A and B are shown apart, each in its own frame.
Chain A
């Protein structure tokens, strides 16, 4: 069975629930008191999808636009980006476009999977971003739209299922990676799974 490693970037305004979504997916739990992410957080989770095993490497980042300090490296080699907004705050939806532009600037390949996620649907009564608005935008950008709740867990797994489903049959990056030189110490090498070493 093939094992694939997939890098996914989580993007979006601070407080939209990026870390919560990642937690829900990785640990299937929700933390009311989720702290604002400071520095970098990094999580991984391996899942089976049909005949494939997919290891998601999730790159989470604190999202305040003001000190935007994200480096292109953050996006390097990513197969997918999940740009999150909070359906109760129109402002967080507005900045989605900035993130999408950033992503498109750095990862402009055909196979790149762009997913836009409206989080916090459990507080439907406070909704400020109509689904149709987001839908229209996503269609125009060739992105997939999900509305989910990290709190209830609704639709969170579906996001990653979508990514697994849309992965290109052969990772074009592998082609390049094969020729690169591994300068990491050999001890480290032993621990890595097959896909990592390429």
Chain B
């Protein structure tokens, strides 16, 4: 029997799909299901592309990724010299830095709530830390020791320099693609020390890094060195009781960072801050050695009396975090849902209802009544308002009967229509932000369409209009890839295409093969790829994103804990001031979503970008909703932010028809957008499928492998009794085996 080795790998496919984003994966599944031979590649080592749900470490590495392929070509389309002139090479661009920008990460450490909160120490460091950087931060420690407080914050900025054309593979040399920001004030104050230490540190830098990677692997070494730490602790306890609580926190955050190699180095300043405080009698050199020993990463087992969870406690569970790059709720009645149900892709998926919907009314968080029953029991709205709201609801549900009434408003702002419906300001705000999910100037047509979606979705599967996949959105592309694999799709991750080869015959250009970075050529009749991978400029929508880990649920005032696993919060535009140009959407995931560990919440914040950075757009909302604890016991305590990351996401739009100008068998797929429906994804997927397989059924229901029952053979074992055996041997040769299975089924 023959195993397919790298050389024997098939090189000729009907279709190559490059990228495992949701749309691409749906197309791959539909094609494989239809018996088309598909090679599905992704340059990442994970599934999902811009729709991925990533573990913390993957996530950080992904966001930091610098341009992988140097853009050496001035012109991305090149004619090949050695071949006939009708052949061209179309170089792809796998440069993530234009997709994700302005990444800023904060670890917020909190210790005993008894301690006053002091201005946090903030240090900005790059992932590719250089020895000089290290010296800076190191010396910085001696000066900032007094700032080691109950509330410690380490902030990191990752700057992509888009002008950079080189990939720097050597982390030790100054990083050309990143810039290093040190708060100038601190830098100045530490100048003298810095000079003193610089040279010795620079020398020791390689050792430092080496020993760190060893640390990451060897846990036993960590434990051995624990005594060193414990020795230093008594001093701490005697001298500065306050620090005792802060200390483990800092040290722990160190270990979180350990998991992400470069992040590890970034956090050193914090550590050093603490250490210099602890051992002020130690010589500089000693401290440096200390830094190199594993002890500095070991957790001190100080009993925590704090009932409130801190990021510290979470760090050991960081693997249980799943960060969604593209958090988008699914309307229960979205045609996309019908498609996954019909095609049986749902068997790989589990969903949860979004059972808490909140918006801001008159400056306060307010529960949005979702169901009809909710409307009646709601305290948010008065009796009169209930009537008006129900009238609107009924009107929208029977929209088809009101086409005449609506027609003249269709192309006018939704606000005018709402006035026409005699809705008051409160109801208008409620409907606009939560039910219709539109902006102030949105057109009636769009708003009514969305309202209808929302209202029809309520009660489809639950009392909530929205669904969320357990483990995150990244499960969706994986489910389609799995379906594709079951029907013979060949999968390779971490495979990067350098260029497409385009050949012109009789005036018609066709992409006839692709060449990967290992110089393997794969022939294809069609290529499908994300538009963000092609070098030509395309229109983009820019979003601001934040992901927070918090310790509590967001709850409107006067609400007792509601049993909600997933919450959706909309902050209408201008709620937080004139600078907030767009509605901010927040998805709050509880541990039951499987995206975060127990006692913790993962919060996704999204809005269209209007400021320079994501943080500038979103910090006001974070401040508004979190950390602002008051003594007022009527108000549920605001959640605290334990971790946060901000970044901008640029979603690129594909040209209409999804065709490239260069050849009509190059199909370009839009990056996923964060508008409230999956219709664009579905229509692009279906459109491309129809172009490649005209007239064929898009993702028909598959045969159920469980229906094939094999004759059970008598058991050999006494303890194990065979009750029933079943199996599927779905061969990838699409249609034929399908028919067989279907026959068995009948």
Contact = CB atoms under 8 A, between A and B. Distances in A.
Interface of A: 14-15, 22, 26-29, 33-36, 38-50, 53, 55, 64, 66-69, 71-74, 76, 105, 108, 153, 157, 160-161, 164, 176-177, 179-185, 188, 191
> Which 7 A-B pairs rank lowest in CB-CB distance, beginning with the nearest?
A69-B491, A43-B727, A48-B721, A46-B723, A73-B478, A28-B713, A45-B725
Size class of the contact patch on chain B? 35 or more
Contact of A49 (B720, B727, B732): B720
B114 interface: no
8 contacts: A27-B713, A39-B731, A47-B722, A64-B5, A68-B493, A76-B475, A180-B352, A184-B346
Contact of A161 (B5, B340, B490, B719): B719
B729 interface: yes
A40 to B, nearest CB: 5
Contacts of B2: 36
Contact of A45 (B489, B592, B722): B722
A71 B594 CA distance: 16
Contact of B3 (A36, A46, A164): A36
Contacts of A188: 704
B633 interface: no
Interface in B448-480: 461-462, 467, 470-471, 475, 478-479
Contacts of B565: 179
A22 B9 CA distance: 25
Given A47-B722, A181-B353, A105 B3 contact: no
Contacts of A66: 5-6
A53 B720 CA distance: 9
Given A181-B352, A183-B340, 8 more contacts: A36-B1, A39-B489, A42-B728, A45-B726, A71-B47, A73-B482, A153-B716, A185-B341
B291 interface: no
B237 to A, nearest CB: 33
Interface in B695-725: 704-706, 710, 713-717, 719-725
B675 to A, nearest CB: 22
B141 interface: no
A135 B140 CA distance: 50
Contacts of A26: 710, 725-727
A166 B467 CA distance: 35
Given A38-B488, A183-B341, A43 B4 contact: no
A103 to B, nearest CB: 12
A36 B470 CA distance: 32
A172 B688 CA distance: 42
Interface in B1-31: 1-6, 9
Nearest to B322: A72
Contacts of A181: 351-353, 461-462, 467
Contacts of A182: 461
Contacts of A45: 722, 724-726
B348 interface: yes
Contacts of B341: 183-185
Nearest to A56: B725
A124 B352 CA distance: 51
A85 B319 CA distance: 27
Given A76-B471, A105-B319, A153-B716, A41 B728 contact: yes
Given A105-B319, A185-B341, A39 B488 contact: yes
Contact of A157 (B340, B353, B716, B723): B716
B722 A46 contact: yes
Contacts of B482: 40, 71, 73-74
Nearest to B711: A27
B492 interface: yes
Nearest to A69: B491
A183 B346 contact: yes
Contacts of A179: 352, 565, 592
B616 interface: no
A39 B716 CA distance: 30
Contact of B347 (A22, A40, A157, A184): A184
